[in-house]
């Protein structure tokens, strides 16, 4: 089979690896607009369950990925002067660039042709030149736009803004920090992803953003302002920029997942708010599901229909949990009167997927503390 792939992110690279592993005769080319060492962002996280899926799909890359990991099992909620730790949440972090380098090496070793610095404009020409065109071209997918009439995307630009920084301050665990000033409420999502660096994403609502005056601030002023907001959390470390800019979260869904021999995967197909840390996981698990569909049948139409049918319920479930989580952060200001313990409990149960009993099993200490604190108040 001749397979053209647009996008050398986690979704495109991993699908290429799995297809080439299944059949070395497949002719696979990835077109990637960036160079092999360019990256946007800092670290990404995986849950324990994702890792089991990656191991089953490709042991070689799994071994390399896990060798680079920073692992933790706690979520820390920081609010006013309190820090509450909730255990039993197994996660690992890795630099996005590190992950991409591992996947690039593995793909090239298996004989996948990766064309860097190749931006695709004429999608239709590429589609006509292959049996399968994989659109793994990320959240602002050109392919999705080109076939919008067929794929019928639903795009929802959310009001909150976020900016993705790094920092040398190490956050041991997923740390959710809330700070208020006269502009409003700022939430930081942070976690270490190697021995020296943490991801530090700052999110705020549109009113806070406007009050703070970010519209007229340059990149350095923004960095200094946010460094000041989180000064007690950064412990003397600076925020680090990687061409970091304010973004509105884009919620992506598509009514149709494929058209003729074109199929969307990863962020091009769907997004899930970063507060549930699942974008890369979902992208790589899409690749696994699609490669599995080609194990069922080599007929392209049948395989794409099988992929959409089997994968859609899983994605819908994730997107609905992520939606609740995103809404929670959009309304964060209305929870700031709560004590750190109450806030932590509300945060842990925000998606409706984690119950009191789940928390009691996973983190009995947290539930004991929560009960004593709320009994005292009530
Ligand atoms: C603030 C933030 C925090 C996040 N945190 C996490 C996290 O903690 N954990 C997690 O798992 N995920 C996280 N994500 C999500 C994660 O970054 C994405 O979900 C994931 O990278 C999706 O993989 P992908 O391969 O579908 O797309 P991408 O990684 O976006 O890859 C798409 C690739 O296509 C290329 N491309 C696009 N158009 C063209 C074209 N026309 N021609 C050639 N090449 C093209 C791009 O250069 C890019 O390399 C976060 C995202 C954001 C925005």
What is the per-residue DSSP string for 18-68? HHHHH-TT-EEEEE-SS-TT---SSEEEEEHHHHHHHHHH-HHHHHHHHHT
- If one compares 280 and 41, the residue with the highest pLDDT of the two is 280
Confidence check: pLDDT of 95 > 70: yes
**Does position 323 have pLDDT exceeding 90, yes or no?**
yes
CA distance 14 to 321: 25
> Does the beta carbon of 248 lie inside 6 Å of ligand 1?
no
Instruction: Tell me, using a 6 A CB cutoff, whether residue 281 lines ligand 1.
Output: yes
Give 145 or 46, the one with higher predicted confidence: 145
Residue 377 pLDDT grade (very low, low, confident, very high; cuts 50, 70, 90):
low
For 369, the 3-state DSSP assignment is helix
The number of the ligand 1 atom at minimal distance from the alpha carbon of 123 is 41
Instruction: Kindly indicate the confidence band of residue 347, based on its pLDDT and cuts at 50, 70 and 90.
Output: very high
CA 96 to ligand 1 centroid distance, Å: 9
338 C-alpha vs ligand 1 centroid, how far in Å? 35
Q: Are 359 and 349 in contact (CB under 8 A)?
A: yes
pLDDT above 70 as % of the chain? 98
Structure token digits, residue 260: 């003729």
């Amino acid at each position: 089979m001749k397979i053209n792939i647009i996008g050398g992110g986690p979704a495109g690279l991993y699908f290429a690896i799995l297809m080439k592993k299944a059949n070395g005769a497949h002719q696979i080319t990835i077109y990637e607009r960036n160079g092999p060492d360019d990256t946007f962002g800092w670290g990404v996280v995986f849950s324990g369950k994702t890792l089991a899926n990656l191991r089953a799909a490709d042991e070689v890359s799994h071994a390399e990925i896990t060798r680079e990991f920073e692992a933790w099992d706690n979520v820390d909620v920081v609010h006013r002067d309190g820090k509450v730790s909730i255990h039993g949440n197994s996660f690992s972090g890795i630099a996005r660039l590190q992950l991409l380098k591992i996947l690039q090496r593995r793909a090239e070793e298996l004989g996948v042709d990766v064309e860097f610095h190749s931006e695709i404009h004429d999608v239709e020409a590429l589609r006509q030149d292959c049996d399968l065109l994989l659109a793994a071209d990320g959240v602002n997918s050109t392919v999705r736009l080109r076939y919008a009439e067929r794929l019928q995307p639903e795009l929802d630009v959310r009001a909150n803004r976020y900016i993705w920084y790094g920092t040398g301050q190490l956050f041991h665990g997923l740390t959710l920090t809330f700070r208020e000033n006269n502009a409003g409420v700022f939430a930081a999502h942070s976690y270490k992803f190697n021995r020296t660096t943490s991801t530090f994403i700052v999110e705020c609502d549109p009113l806070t953003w406007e009050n703070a005056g970010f519209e007229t601030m340059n990149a350095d002023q923004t960095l200094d302002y946010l460094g000041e907001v989180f000064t007690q959390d950064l412990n003397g470390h600076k925020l680090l920029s990687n061409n970091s800019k304010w973004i509105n979260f884009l919620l992506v869904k598509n009514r149709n997942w494929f058209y003729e021999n074109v199929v969307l995967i990863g962020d091009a197909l769907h997004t899930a708010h970063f507060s549930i840390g699942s974008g890369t996981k979902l992208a790589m698990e899409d690749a696994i599901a699609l490669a599995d569909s080609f194990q069922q049948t080599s007929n392209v139409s049948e395989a794409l229909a099988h992929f959409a049918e089997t994968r859609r319920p899983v994605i819908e479930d994730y997107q609905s949990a992520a939606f609740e989580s995103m809404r929670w952060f959009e309304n964060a200001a209305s929870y700031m009167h709560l004590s750190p313990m109450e806030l932590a409990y509300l945060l842990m149960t925000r998606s409706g997927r984690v119950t009191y009993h789940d928390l009691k099993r996973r983190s009995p200490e947290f539930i004991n503390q929560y009960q004593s604190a709320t009994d005292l108040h009530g």
